[in-house]
Structure 1
Amino acid sequence: MFSSTLLAVASATLVSAHTIITYPGWRGNNLITNESFPYGMQWMYPCGGSPTTNNRTYWPTTGGALAFQPGWFSGHATAFIYVNLGLGNEGPEDNPELRGPPNMSHPLLPPFQILGPTKNPYPGTVCLPQVPMPQGIEVKPGDNATIQLIETAVHGAALYSCVDITFAEPGDPRIPHVNETNCFNSTDIGVADIYTLTLRESGQGNAKVANAASRSDLGSLAHSVYASVLFGGLLALL
């Protein structure tokens, strides 16, 4: 895993590119564009083109902190954030590209939105100090898993980053210490809940929009799905 010191040194150049998990660790540097990945690695499901690592980070069995630099590139003032958990470490021992959770189907948090001050790359870091385990999921110390962070832009494209973890009892000294240097919220990045507006209930048939004005109204409604909240408000839900 990359240390917080290395990330701090590299952040001046990396933050303008794509998404970096700064705590509890990072699967590895997938901020790469080459012949094999002409559009970059991070667009690739499930973990931005990076294979599972054996250099895992310890994380509490009851859930713990997660911090990331949203980065991205110019032209996107908002993005949706998804945080999922994949359990296990299946696949052949001699092929890390095929090892890892069979899916990432366990949401750790409800999706939320981040808000930048401009359409320039997001200036700073987001910290979620206590991400809970999904309801109904029980793990024990020594179990392996992967945390998946997804950032989607306004046009729908997604960036993927992961950190491979091994669960440990809360307070285990192997769990990286959380402090203001590796988990903090930058004042220039806001957050918002994501709300759904029901425009037509299920089972009502193929209701038609009467005219162009109505279509315009529906379009406005469909895009008015965000409500700004403070970071403290979001974190209070965790």
Structure 2
Amino acid sequence: MILRLSALIALVWLASTGETHTVITYPGWRGNNLITNDTWPYGMQWMYPCGGMSLTTNRTLWPVGGGAISVQPGWFQGHALAFFRINMGLDNSGPDGGPLSMDIPLLDLVQVAGPSNNPYPGTMCFPNVPVPANASVKAGDNATIQVILTAQHGASLFACADITFAEPEKVPVANSSTCFNSSDISFNEVYTMSAPPFQIPL
């Protein structure tokens, strides 16, 4: 009960104004949906399931047991704090032959704290995000990884990366050029009582 009340208080507190967007840097995302002029996709990152971006045929090989996911969360203002989660979809009955539902959680809810409410550079990386055992994936299966960022104003923003599962030895190992954590961004699991800042060693 205390955890639920704390989460509710945090959500209410986050409902202030602002704009925020995120970029998936690894695996390669579907494309730039941060555009805010009259060019498609018109900055539509708030549209479920993938921010207005269609399924891509340029898929990244990703280890069958799980792998690295790297994002840059602070592209626009309003991002001193945000909630962040990662899901996956496996079926091909949705838009453009992609998943209809992103119903496989890969990462529990995480709170992100950036250095400022203004746009800021910086990257955060989860080097070994596991695929749940009950997902029953095998090499050659296609999937879509969905990153959801809940901004301070309460809106959720979506970005996706399309992958093909492969045996780990066929996937380049994540290294300091594809997976690193900037020192001015911190993050922690939301559903913890009292814990030091969440650190993921490389």
The answer for the alignment partner of 1:159 in structure 2 is: 157
Q: Answer whether contact 2:24 2:159 (CA < 8 A) is retained.
A: yes
- Verify: 1:45 aligned to 2:28, yes or no: no
In structure 2, C-alpha distance between the alignment counterparts of 1:68 and 1:149, rounded to whole Å:
9
The answer for the alignment partner of 2:136 in structure 1 is: 138
Shift of 1:27: 1.1
Higher relative contact order (CA 8 A, sep 6+): 2
The percentage of aligned residue pairs carrying the same residue is 58
**Structure 1 residues 118 and 160, CA gap change in structure 2 (3 angstroms):** same
In structure 2, C-alpha distance between the alignment counterparts of 1:227 and 1:78, rounded to whole Å:
18
CA deviation digits over 1:1-47, x for unaligned, max 9?
A: xxxxxxxxxxxxxxx97211111211112122244779621111100
- The unaligned stretches of length 5 or more in structure 2 are 1-18
Structure 2 residue matching 1:108: 3-state secondary structure: strand
- The unaligned stretches of length 5 or more in structure 1 are 1-15, 92-96, 197-225
Question: What pairs with 1:147-186 in structure 2 (closer than 5 Å)?
Answer: 147-172=145-170, 175-186=171-182
Structure 2 residue matching 1:167: 3-state secondary structure: strand
The answer for the alignment partner of 1:106 in structure 2 is: 104
**2:181 counterpart letter in structure 1:** N
The answer for the alignment partner of 1:190 in structure 2 is: 186
The answer for the alignment partner of 1:230 in structure 2 is: 197
In structure 2, C-alpha distance between the alignment counterparts of 1:23 and 1:56, rounded to whole Å:
11
Q: Calculate the TM-score normalised by the size of structure 2.
A: 0.82
- Verify: 1:55 aligned to 2:58, yes or no: yes
In structure 2, C-alpha distance between the alignment counterparts of 1:70 and 1:144, rounded to whole Å:
26
- Runs of 4 or more, structure 1, over 6 Å off, are 36-39
Q: Answer whether contact 2:78 2:151 (CA < 8 A) is retained.
A: no
- Verify: 1:86 aligned to 2:82, yes or no: no
**Structure 1 residues 227 and 51, CA gap change in structure 2 (3 angstroms):** farther
The answer for the alignment partner of 2:125 in structure 1 is: 127
